[in-house]
Structure formats: structure tokens, C-alpha cells
């Protein structure tokens, strides 16, 4: 018997997401008794100033003159060029920092970027341990108003563009603005993806069920994301660094109680790759690399654990 009559047009729980809760499920375990697995996902999205007719755009997004987050008027270059900074400078600075710390990284690319930025895909392919597909462009998103066929085409076009340009196989996906339709996990699985990073839903990977069986949600946290913390929440960068330190410390401690933890660091070339913020990435990765309880792995490896 249920007391609640949900409205017919409500979808009460995310499809494919099993409802499991800490202390009520078997603990997750890591090789060699490690307590915390960390994956670094570097985003290298491109911003298409005039999206093709019929594409769907986010309602708001970050970047630009620092005040407005709604769609800039045509002719304002601030958001376009600020996102582009990630591709000209930011992603390379973050890759250099990760290499110095000996930390493996996944880099997420989109089809507009690899099509229009000469050398981007080749250089990323030389330096990234994993390639992730990130849709069409930073500001062209998946939307519930798409037909299944449109969404399938969006996913396969992005995948084939990124794989062709990098010469690498991609098993993982990240949606621009983390935007999904109700069908997205099922379609990603249908397109052959093993994992996706959109859902900041847990502190361990979650194997989906139902029509998305075979797809793992590798949870890249929201509050530990640079764009969310430094732009959406406007944390000062020293406070963001402290947030990262305290998160790591607490997750390691919690592993003894609820089982091994996962931390997905979602970092943008145009955010943490800026000179004024980059030392936060450098110090954090160096601390992680030296931490005896931490294992650093790519998200594809986490999904396969």
C-alpha cells in the first residue's frame, strides 16, 4: 500500500539509478587497501558563438563579464573568448601540472573543438591518459525536447568526431552543463559507453540498472568542481583549496566506516587553468600524489574496478 499518489507527469527517481545508501550496502573496496580513489577530469570544451539552428542551449551558464550568466547579446565576445582561453592556454597549464605531479588525467573534448581548433586533438591525445567525449560544444546541450533519434545522433556524432580526431577509443562521456534527457543514460549505453560523469550522486561509482545496465555513473562532484565553486558559488580561491583539502581528509577518514570512497575532480581549462588559480591545482595534485591512502586512476579505470 502506498499513501502518496504521485502526479502522473512526475518522474520521481532518476531512471536507471539504483537506490542504495551508505551503511545499508556492501562496502566498496580498492586494491591494496587504499581508502580513496581520485580521478581528475580536465574539461577542454569549445564555445560555439552561433549554434546551428535547431540546437538546444543552456538557459544560463558561467563565463563572461562576471555579472550576467544568461545568454550574452550577439556581439559580446566575453564568454566565447573566456571559454576559448581553456583551449589556448588553460588546458595545457593543467596538463603540465598533472604531469609534474605524476597524476594520470582524462581530458574531455567536444566535436566543435576538435573540428575547428587545429592541433588540439593531436596534442591532447599525446598527453592524456584517457579521452572523454563531451558532446557537440560547451553551449549546445542535450534537452528533453530532442527526439530519441536527435539525441542518438548528437551522441554518436560527438563520439565519432572525437575518436577520429584523437585516434583514440573513448569509453566515457560527459554532457555539456551536465544536461540530460530522461533517456540519456540508456542512449549512452546503447552507443557503447561504459561510464559517464554527469551525475554527482555518490561517493563511489554506481552501476546503473534497467535499460542503462552496463553503464556506470562515475560521480564527478559538484562542490569540488572549480567552475561551480569559483564561479557559481563565488568562493575565494584559498577557500576552494581548503574545501578540497578538507574533503580529501574527511573521505579518507570515512573510508574506515563506510568503505572506500571515490572523488572525481572536475576541472576546466578556462577556470583552474587561469594563472591566478592554477597553484590550487598544483598543490592539490602534489598532495594527492604523495598521500599513502590515495590511488590516482582515470575514470575509465574506476568504472572497471
Partner 1 sequence: MTIQNNDRLVYEAMPTRPLVTWPEGKTVAVWHAPNVEHYDYVAPGGGSPQGRTRYPDPQHYMHRDNGNRTAFWRLLRAVDKYEIPSTVSLSLSVLEEIPEVRDAMAERDWEIMSHGISNLRPLYDMPYDDEDRFYELSQKLSETYYGGKRIKGMLGPKISGTDNTSDLMVKHGMTYHADWIHDEQPRPIRTEGAGKLVSIPYSYMLNDVPLLLAKHYPGSYFVAMAKAQIDRLLRDADEDGQGRVACIATHPFVTGQPYMQRYIEEIFDYLRSDDRLWVTTAGDISDHYLENSYDEQLAHAEVIAAAREASA
Q: Which residues bind partner 1 (CB under 8 A)?
A: 48-50, 64-67, 73-78, 80-82, 84-85, 87-89, 92-93, 116-120, 122-123, 234, 236-238, 274-279
Rounded to a whole number of angstroms, the minimum distance from the CB of residue 105 to partner 1 is 16
Nearest to partner 1 of 137, 212 (CB atom):
137
Q: Which is nearer to partner 1, 146 or 230 (CB)?
A: 230
Q: Phi first, then psi: give them for residue 162, nearest 5 degrees.
A: -70, -40
Q: What is the C-alpha to C-alpha distance for residues 109 and 176, in angstroms, rounded to an integer?
A: 10
Minimum Å gap between C-beta 170 and partner 1 is 18
Residue 133 or 278 with smaller CB distance to partner 1: 278
What are the backbone angles phi and psi of residue 288, rounded to the nearest 5°? -65, -45
Quote the least distance from Cβ 241 to partner 1, whole Å: 11
Q: Between 164 and 290, name the residue whose CB sits nearer to partner 1.
A: 164
**Residue 294, H or E segment:** strand 294-296
Between 84 and 194, CB nearer to partner 1: 84
**Least distance to partner 1, CB of residue 159, Å:** 17
Q: Nearest approach, Cβ of 302 to partner 1 (angstroms)?
A: 28
Strands 105-109 and 36-44: parallel
Task: Please say whether the dihedral angle defined by the alpha carbons of residues 55, 56, 60 and 63, taken in this order, is positive or negative.
Answer: negative
How far apart, in whole angstroms, are the C-alpha atoms of residue 288 and residue 100?
13
| Rounded-to-integer distance, Cα 216 and Cα 208, Å | 6
Amino acid at each position: 500500500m502506498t499513501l502518496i499518489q504521485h502526479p502522473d507527469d512526475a518522474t520521481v527517481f532518476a531512471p536507471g539509478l539504483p537506490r542504495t545508501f551508505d551503511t545499508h550496502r556492501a562496502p566498496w573496496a580498492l586494491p591494496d587497501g587504499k581508502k580513496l580513489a581520485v580521478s581528475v577530469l580536465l574539461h577542454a570544451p569549445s564555445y560555439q558563438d552561433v549554434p546551428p539552428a535547431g540546437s538546444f542551449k543552456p538557459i544560463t551558464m558561467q563565463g563572461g563579464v562576471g555579472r550576467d550568466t544568461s545568454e550574452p547579446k550577439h556581439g559580446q565576445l566575453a564568454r566565447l573568448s573566456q571559454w576559448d582561453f581553456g583551449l589556448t592556454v588553460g588546458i595545457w597549464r593543467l596538463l603540465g601540472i598533472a604531469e609534474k605531479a605524476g597524476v594520470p588525467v582524462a581530458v574531455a573534448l567536444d566535436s566543435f573543438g576538435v573540428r575547428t581548433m587545429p592541433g588540439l586533438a593531436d596534442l591532447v591525445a599525446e598527453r592524456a591518459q584517457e579521452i572523454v567525449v563531451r558532446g557537440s560544444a560547451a553551449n549546445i546541450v542535450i534537452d528533453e525536447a530532442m527526439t530519441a533519434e536527435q539525441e542518438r545522433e548528437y551522441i554518436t556524432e560527438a563520439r565519432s568526431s572525437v575518436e577520429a580526431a584523437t585516434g583514440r577509443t573513448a569509453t566515457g562521456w560527459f554532457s555539456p552543463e551536465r544536461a540530460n534527457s530522461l533517456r540519456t543514460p540508456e542512449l549512452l549505453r546503447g552507443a557503447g559507453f561504459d561510464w559517464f560523469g554527469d551525475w554527482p550522486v555518490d561517493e563511489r561509482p554506481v552501476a546503473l540498472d534497467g535499460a542503462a545496465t552496463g553503464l556506470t555513473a562515475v560521480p564527478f562532484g559538484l562542490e569540488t568542481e572549480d567552475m561551480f565553486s569559483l564561479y557559481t558559488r563565488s568562493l575565494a580561491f584559498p577557500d576552494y583549496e581548503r574545501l578540497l583539502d578538507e574533503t580529501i581528509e574527511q573521505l579518507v577518514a570515512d573510508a574506515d566506516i563506510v568503505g572506500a570512497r571515490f572523488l572525481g575532480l572536475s576541472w576546466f581549462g578556462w577556470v583552474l587553468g587561469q594563472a591566478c588559480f592554477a597553484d590550487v591545482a598544483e598543490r592539490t595534485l602534489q598532495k594527492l600524489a604523495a598521500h599513502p591512502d590515495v590511488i590516482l586512476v582515470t575514470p575509465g579505470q574506476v568504472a572497471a574496478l
